[in-house]
Structure 1
């Protein structure tokens, strides 16, 4: 009985193994691409930064600038929002997320979806409490 089951599932296992090799590397991050947050109050540029991937603010609305200043971040444009991101799976990068409104840095990820969407996520308390935003590609 066990032999029949093994013969039945073995071909599917072999095909699955060939289709998705374990050594496959994640796709490159879309370097030099621009992204906007859901409220279109902040734009970032994804780039290589010292051997990792980062996201630097290139534009911010007056309200976003004022909110950041109230939180202690005096210069919002030019601030690295996503820092030290390293590959962490298919289209996913793990590193740090800076929140300018409260001047705090958290562990976080970005994950690219469908070429025009990026989900940025920051977590505290060992990943128990997280907040995510879906960013859209500007160019």
Structure 2
């Protein structure tokens, strides 16, 4: 009878040892034109362009004219992402329009990541779901 509590503890161990889902890895935008590598940055997350397969590959819409000729590969798109109640919150840079938005990010499954970028304090938002590449 003394072994029963120990056995119950051991049976529950594998489930308890599972790591929390993480968005760390490479993700593709909905059209598959851009791949973004999400990594740990300090106590949060950040994301940089890993690959662009279609469209403009230079940061031509950047508000800083000195940066408009740089390649978008290696450019930080997701910055300052800190854990929040529903995922992570931070900033999202959209190189397609050169604007930075207040952003949220949440896993919607092991291979689906929902991002939303907002302006005017969240009055206007746009969402998209990225797919895990690896």
Q: Which residue of 2 aligns with 1:134?
A: 129
Matches within 5 A, 1:1-139: 27=20, 29-31=22-24, 33-65=25-57, 68-69=59-60, 71-72=61-62, 73=68, 74-90=70-86, 92-139=87-134
Instruction: State the aligned residue count.
Output: 109
1:28 and 1:115, CA in 2 relative to 1: closer, same or farther beyond 3 A? closer
> Hey, what's the Cα distance between the residues in 1 that align with 2:72 and 2:132?
20
Large movers: runs of 4+ above 6 Å: none
TM-score, normalised to structure 1, is 0.72
TM-score, normalised to structure 2, is 0.74
Greater helix content: 1
Is 1:56–1:82's contact at 8 Å kept on the other side of the alignment?
yes
Is 1:124–1:130's contact at 8 Å kept on the other side of the alignment?
yes
> Hey, what's the Cα distance between the residues in 1 that align with 2:89 and 2:45?
9
Unaligned runs of 5+ in 2: 1-19, 63-67
Could you say what the CA RMSD is over the residues aligned between the two structures, in angstroms?
1.6
Find the residue that maps to 2:121 and give its secondary structure: coil
> Hey, what's the Cα distance between the residues in 2 that align with 1:102 and 1:43?
17
The alpha carbon displacement at 1:62 in A equals: 4.0
Unaligned runs of 5+ in 1: 1-26
